[in-house]
């Protein structure tokens, strides 16, 4: 993509895409680790919401639930890639 599109357009696309991903993080209870270049790094099963409504480390995560959240996040994120890409045309 970066060979065919101007750098400012790539950055605009990534900004819009990562902003959409950020909005999904809370919905799927995924932890955003960081963005590195054009990579969005996230993990599931690391955190949970405690009884007071705060995010804390989950010391006994359910691996099946964590996998389900990550896969759900990945599916919706893939759709966001398509939607954001189509909106930029």
Mean pLDDT of 17-31: 90
Q: Residue 73: what pLDDT?
A: 92
Written as one string, the DSSP assignment of 23-73 is HHHHHHTEEEEEEETTEEEEEESSEEE-TTS-EEE-SS--HHHHHHHHHHH
Q: Residue 10: what pLDDT?
A: 85
pLDDT in tens, 29-86: 888 999 998 899 999 888 888 999 998 999 999 999 999 999 999 999 888 888 877 6
Q: Residue 2: what pLDDT?
A: 61
Largest Cα–Cα distance in the chain? Answer: 50
SS3 2: coil
- Is the predicted pLDDT of residue 22 greater than 90, yes or no? yes
């Amino acid at each position: 993509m970066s060979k065919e599109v101007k750098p400012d357009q790539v950055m605009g696309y990534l900004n819009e895409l990562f902003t959409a991903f950020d909005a999904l993080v809370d919905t799927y209870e995924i932890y955003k680790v960081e963005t590195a270049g054009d990579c969005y790094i996230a993990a599931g099963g690391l955190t949970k919401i405690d009884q007071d409504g705060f995010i804390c480390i989950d010391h006994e995560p359910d691996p099946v639930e964590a996998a389900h959240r990550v896969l759900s996040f990945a599916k919706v994120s893939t759709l966001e890639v398509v939607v954001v890409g189509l909106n930029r045309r």
